[in-house]
Amino acid sequence: MIEPPPKQKHAVIVKDLGKEDINLLVQILRQHVRDLFTHDVVEDEVEAIQDYMRGCADNSGRVRHYLVANDENQRAVGCTAISTPDVDMERHFDIDATESLELLNVFVHADYMGGNGIGRAMFTAACEYAKRQGARFLMVNSGPRYISSWGFYDRVCDSSHGFILNKYGPGRHAKTWKKKLQ
């Protein structure tokens, strides 16, 4: 059996999201923000994420800081957000929210997923951002819609911390992780 060639690592630059990046990321959001069962794009959620990117507060009153990943051709290939932990995360981890931040909305263009280094570059940049904000820990949760990302978080985080039951609706539990930053 012939082994396929290894995935190519792409040169990636992760920077703070600019207003000009928001519309460029819509295609990526639509690739990932899909109903768990029908796989249809959840347009109102895509629009909500775009509002968060513009600085609007989310349902928890948090304003998210977004990072965007660009490839060597300056094409937007991913994004992620960092914010204060929501109430469920605070309770689950029994933490002081002033010393932790939460990773949110991690999306990589489908053509760049699976070993190209985009996710790791964004995760590393998010950790660096969180450290600069004085956080000691970065926390992550991921629901069943994104189960394919769970192995990635198992690799990049220090520890898995079980599930927040019914976080995304009945029977839709969120797996959780924590990364020590300092």
Tell me what the mean pLDDT of segment 61-74 comes to: 95
Mean pLDDT over each residue of the chain, to the nearest integer: 93
Sheet holding 13-16, edge to edge: 13-16, 65-70, 76-83, 100-108, 137-142, 174-180, 159-164
CB-CB contact of 29 with 50 (8 Å)? yes
CB-CB contact of 176 with 161 (8 Å)? yes
Per-residue pLDDT tens over the stretch 137-177: 999 999 999 999 999 999 999 999 999 999 999 999 999 99
Q: Looking at the predicted structure, is the pLDDT value of residue 92 above 50?
A: yes
Element (H, E) at 26: helix 26-32
Phi then psi for 80, rounded to 5 degrees? -155, 165
Q: Which fold has domain 13-180?
A: Aminopeptidase (3.40.630)
Per-residue pLDDT tens over the stretch 106-144: 999 999 998 889 999 999 999 999 999 999 999 999 999
- β-pair partners for 160: 177
Q: Looking at the predicted structure, is the pLDDT value of residue 3 above 70?
A: no
Instruction: List the domain boundaries for the chain.
Output: 13-180
